[in-house]
Amino acid sequence: MDQIGNIITLGLLLGGTYALVSVGLNLIFGVVRIINFAQGEFLMLGMYGAYFCYAFLGVDPYLGLLLVVPALGLFGMAVYALIMKPLQNEPIMQVFASFGLLLVLQNTMLAITKGLSFSINTPLSQEVVALGPIKISVSRLIVLAASAAVALLLGAFLNRTTFGQAIRAVAQDRKAAQLMGINVQKTYMVSFGIGTALAGLAGTLLTPIYTMSPYIGGNFIMAAFAVVVLGGLGSVLGAFIGGFIVGLTEAFAGYYIDPSLKHAVLFVIFIGVLVVKPSGLFGKAGAEEVGLREQS
Amino acid sequence: MKWAFTQKAAAFAVTALLATTALAQDKPLKIGAIIPNTGGMAVLGNDLGNWYEIAVQQRNANGGLLGRKIELVRGDAVNPQEAIAAVERLVGREGTEIVIGTIASSLSQAASEAALSNNVLFWETGSLAKDLTERGLPNFVRSGPSTVNFAKTAADAVLNMLAGELGKAPKDLKVWMEHESSNYGTSLAEEQQRVLKEAGVKVERLGHAASAVDLTDSILRAKKFNPDIWLISGYVGDTHLLLRTAREQGFAPSAVILVGLGDSRETVEAIGQDYLQGILVVTYPRHEVNSSYARGADELSALYVEKYRQQPVGNSGFGGYVGLNILFNAIEAAKTTKWEAVVAAAKTLDAPVGTFANGYGVHFDDKMQNTRANPIVYQWQGDKTVAVFPDVARKEGVKLKSLARP
């Protein structure tokens, strides 16, 4: 019974991590219609940004996010303006461009770090909360809380603000939104920026947990794509719930089957959901085709 | 008339032969080194290259090899394709007569096959994969340890040091082996399991992906097994994640052994010095080793610092220095750089453990694996690691400190 409690806790904490990593990816896909392979590298930049703040400015990583998140947001907007916008009528080329960006960011960071890995080991990163036999890392608890907060705030932003409604309008029908006077390019750029900033937030909050390497983004991105597709393309709620489905699946498969098979189990479920409901659990039917249909 | 012509022709031939011989002796003996100078392995690659340079410099100061000055030519490679291209360039354009390296088994595998195509020797000083010597490539020799040597040292430490320290007979010991699930970690764990099971130790083994985002499931399973000893064979990121998760979950076996890494600044930064106290690390010998076991290691480390104005990055590069010296001995014995002759000469080398500066000896088995290139076991004590096993490697006055986890 203790073990079941431990596994469920592990799954929820892991789910929070995946939800936080996926929500920005889902926003970029849902609104801008770009399958962004470089999202993991944006997360990696967030981690190194937090490390930079900690090692050179003496700023705790949790405070460092005040610098890192806006910086990543601006970086994302620049990436959209300089790389993605010129390719907006070439969706396949945008995917290749994001893959190229992935390689550029990885190799640039390799050149800077010369292959050495870095970690942050603060007293808070060692704190553990014990609920009877269940032990919970405070760092992971913070990630879980942040994922819930981000899902709520992003949902409120998209539903209750004028700009959020403009983003939803562009996501639903770009041409109609344009006819209604919405600046589509600005909406795309800001959405890409928010998606990148959210990756930066995830990276910053994960810094106390992992040892950084230029390739660390790849550790998260496969599962994040599974979360986005399972939850439903373009759905914030879908990314949040999908994160927990993936987290719990990995936790149970890792403990009861084999840790080295947990991704295999996850992707069997992933394929099953795709076959039964291609739009994902919370996505609207046909959403997976919208981007291509609009741009064709 | 005819006799005079023959005399002149013979004189010309002798003169030409002498001139050619003199030229050959003046020509430097070029050795190509496949080492990554860019990418994720650049730091370790540069360190290995530095140690090679020291070995060459010392040999040249003592008259070179076969009467020729040695010249080291570096070839940068970060993947197998680049390794093949580097060998082609080194042999084809630079005229290197032997190729050495590397720090990654994938580079070694590709580069050694390219070396065979170019009919030159490939002398491996650092890469660990067991398969490199198992495949029977005739121009391939490994002077450093393989994963088998690492696994045996770890298993020896369990049976001959920790069992006594924990007051248990091997049959009463429980060992949990956690390894990353690629060829590297799996081959290490399989060999450790084989040796320990033969000794009657209760062993469980579990693999994980090195890219895993969470390893709590592995820790919970290990905790349920309640082992005396936790043996970890992983890469940097997953090893650090395992140690952090163990600390969070209160998993505190009597002894922890890290195989292949865990003695660097990176591990201290990730885990903290306090938690590392007592943890054992199986790695290459260099620092804090008994001077009668590793003769001259301290002086060579000081020479490195003087020459490069920095500390050596780790201990693996030092194995390259020793490996290159073993190669020099083989070439001297062969009196040529032809790979068939050098391999044959290497087979005749026989030096006991403790002969070379890092404690290596020399004895090649039928597959040209040096069976006397052994890693040793260090323990975290204070702000450094010190050699604790085998006993002959331990400095005077050094004792095994408490193994208990905080």
pLDDT tens-place string over residues B246-289: 999 999 999 999 998 888 888 999 999 999 999 999 999 888 89
| B271 closest CB neighbour out of A115, A121, A262 | A121
**Structural domain span for residue B229:** 148-283+376-393
Contacts of B393 (CB under 8 A, 6+ apart): B285, B289, B290, B293, B294, B359, B376, B387
Question: Do B231 and B157 belong together in one domain?
Answer: yes
| Cβ–Cβ under 8 Å, residues A283 and A234 | yes
Interface test with B, best of A116, A127, A140 (most B CBs within 10 A): A116
Residue A116 has pLDDT above 90, yes or no: no
Question: Do B260 and B304 belong together in one domain?
Answer: no
Q: Could you tell me if A108 lies within 8 Å of chain B, comparing CB atoms?
A: no
Question: Do B263 and B336 belong together in one domain?
Answer: no
Percent of chain A with pLDDT over 70: 95
Is residue B312, in this structure, part of any structural domain at all? yes
Cβ distance of A121 and B270 shorter than 8 Å: yes
The nearest CA of chain B is from the CA of A167 a distance in Å of: 32
Q: Is B121 helix (H, G, I), strand (E, B) or coil?
A: strand
The nearest CA of chain B is from the CA of A164 a distance in Å of: 32
Separation between Cα atoms, residue B235 and residue B263, nearest integer Å: 13
Question: Do B186 and B236 belong together in one domain?
Answer: yes
Separation between Cα atoms, residue A271 and residue A35, nearest integer Å: 18
| A211 closest CB neighbour out of B207, B218, B240 | B240
* pLDDT tens-digit series, residues A161-196: 999 999 988 888 888 988 989 999 999 999 999 999
Separation between Cα atoms, residue B178 and residue B243, nearest integer Å: 11
Question: Do B116 and B239 belong together in one domain?
Answer: no
First to last CA, chain B: 97
Residue of B nearest to A8 (CA): B217
Question: Do B42 and B164 belong together in one domain?
Answer: no
| B40 closest CB neighbour out of A17, A115, A118 | A115
Average pLDDT rounded to a whole number, residues A78-89: 93
| Cβ–Cβ under 8 Å, residues A27 and A237 | no
Note the pLDDT of residue B183.
79
**What is the phi/psi pair of residue A274, to 5°?**
-60, -40
Note the pLDDT of residue B8.
56
Cβ distance of A211 and B266 shorter than 8 Å: yes
Cβ distance of B236 and A260 shorter than 8 Å: no
Is residue B366, in this structure, part of any structural domain at all? no
Instruction: Break chain B down into helix, strand, coil percent, rounded to 5.
Output: 50, 15, 35
Chain B residues with CB inside 8 Å of A263's CB?
209
Residue of B nearest to A264 (CA): B209
Residue of A nearest to B313 (CA): A116
Question: What is the per-residue DSSP string for B168-187?
Answer: --GGG-EEEEEEESSHHHHH
| Cβ–Cβ under 8 Å, residues A117 and B236 | yes
Ranges in chain B, pLDDT < 50: 1-3, 5, 13, 15-24
Chain B residues with CB inside 8 Å of A119's CB?
240, 266, 269-270
Is residue B5, in this structure, part of any structural domain at all? no
Interface test with B, best of A2, A44, A121 (most B CBs within 10 A): A121
> Which has more confidence, A233 or A178?
A178
Chain B residues with CB inside 8 Å of A220's CB?
213
What the block records as the tokens of B46 is: 């540069």
What sections of B27-104 are H helices per DSSP? 42-61, 80-88
Cβ distance of A135 and B244 shorter than 8 Å: no
Mean pLDDT of chain A: 89
* pLDDT tens-digit series, residues A129-170: 998 889 999 999 999 999 999 999 998 998 899 999 999 888
Residue identified by tokens 């002798």 is B14
The answer for B51, left when phi > 0, alpha when psi is -120 to 50, beta otherwise, is alpha
Question: Do B174 and B241 belong together in one domain?
Answer: yes
Helix (H) or strand (E) holding B189: helix B183-198
CATH code of residue B265: 3.40.50.2300
Sign of CA dihedral B223, B227, B233, B239: positive
Cβ distance of B212 and A259 shorter than 8 Å: yes
Question: Do B155 and B140 belong together in one domain?
Answer: no
- ipTM attached to this prediction: 0.89
The structural domain count of chain B equals 2
Cβ distance of B213 and A126 shorter than 8 Å: no
Interface test with A, best of B248, B275, B316, B405 (most A CBs within 10 A): B248
Contacts of A169 (CB under 8 A, 6+ apart): A176, A177, A180, A182
How many A-B residue pairs are in contact by the CB < 8 A criterion?
A: 106
Q: Could you tell me if A114 lies within 8 Å of chain B, comparing CB atoms?
A: yes
Contacts of A180 (CB under 8 A, 6+ apart): A169
Question: What is the per-residue DSSP string for chain A?
Answer: -HHHHHHHHHHHHHHHHHHHHHHHHHHIIIII----TTHHHHHHHHHHHHHHHHHHS---HHHHHHHHHHHHHHHHHHHIIIIIGGGTT-HHHHHHHHHHHHHHHHHHHHHHHTT--B----TGGG-EEEETTEEEEHHHHHHHHHHHHHHHHHHHHHHHSHHHHHHHHHHH-HHHHHHTT--HHHHHHHHHHHHHHHHHHHHHHHTTTS-B-TTTHHHHHHHHHHHHHHH-TT-HHHHHHHHHHHHHHHHHHHHHT-GGGHHHHHHHHHHHHHHH-TT-SSSPTTHHHHHHHHH-
| B236 closest CB neighbour out of A7, A121, A211 | A211
Note the pLDDT of residue B405.
62
State which amino acid sits at residue B70: I
| Cβ–Cβ under 8 Å, residues B371 and B380 | no
| A223 closest CB neighbour out of B38, B44, B213 | B213
Chain B residues with CB inside 8 Å of A118's CB?
266, 269
Note the pLDDT of residue A292.
38
Chain B residues with CB inside 8 Å of A111's CB?
38
Chain A residues with CB inside 8 Å of B271's CB?
121
Q: Is B230 helix (H, G, I), strand (E, B) or coil?
A: strand
Chain B residues with CB inside 8 Å of A107's CB?
39
| A110 closest CB neighbour out of B39, B211, B272 | B39
Task: List the one residue out of B119, B117, B113, B118 whose CA is nearest residue B101.
Answer: B113
Chain A residues with CB inside 8 Å of B223's CB?
none
Cβ distance of B40 and A259 shorter than 8 Å: no
Separation between Cα atoms, residue A269 and residue A272, nearest integer Å: 5
Question: Do B87 and B170 belong together in one domain?
Answer: no
Question: Do B254 and B380 belong together in one domain?
Answer: yes
Chain B residue set in contact with A, beta carbons under 8 Å: 38-44, 181, 206-209, 211-218, 220-221, 224, 236-237, 240-241, 244, 247-250, 266, 269-272
The nearest CA of chain A is from the CA of B178 a distance in Å of: 11
Separation between Cα atoms, residue B56 and residue B76, nearest integer Å: 18
Exposure class string for A33-62: b at 16+ Cβ within 10 A, else e:
bbbbbbbbbbbbbbbbbbbebbeeeebebb
Q: Could you tell me if A162 lies within 8 Å of chain B, comparing CB atoms?
A: no
Task: List the one residue out of A147, A135, A145, A143 whose CA is nearest residue A208.
Answer: A143
Residue B14's Cα: distance from chain center in Å?
A: 47
Question: Do B155 and B121 belong together in one domain?
Answer: no
Question: Whole-prediction pTM value?
Answer: 0.86
Question: Do B31 and B60 belong together in one domain?
Answer: yes
Cβ distance of A3 and B216 shorter than 8 Å: no
The nearest CA of chain B is from the CA of A97 a distance in Å of: 22
| Cβ–Cβ under 8 Å, residues B166 and B280 | no
Is residue B399, in this structure, part of any structural domain at all? no
Task: List the one residue out of B170, B373, B182, B178 whose CA is nearest residue B258.
Answer: B178
Residue identified by tokens 């070029």 is B30
Q: Could you tell me if A289 lies within 8 Å of chain B, comparing CB atoms?
A: no
Residue identified by tokens 């090679």 is B52
Chain A residues with CB inside 8 Å of B42's CB?
110, 114-115
Note the pLDDT of residue A1.
62
Cβ distance of A118 and B269 shorter than 8 Å: yes
Is residue B45, in this structure, part of any structural domain at all? yes
Is residue B92, in this structure, part of any structural domain at all? yes
Is residue B60, in this structure, part of any structural domain at all? yes
First to last CA, chain A: 54
Is residue B290, in this structure, part of any structural domain at all? no
Interface test with A, best of B43, B79, B178, B214 (most A CBs within 10 A): B214
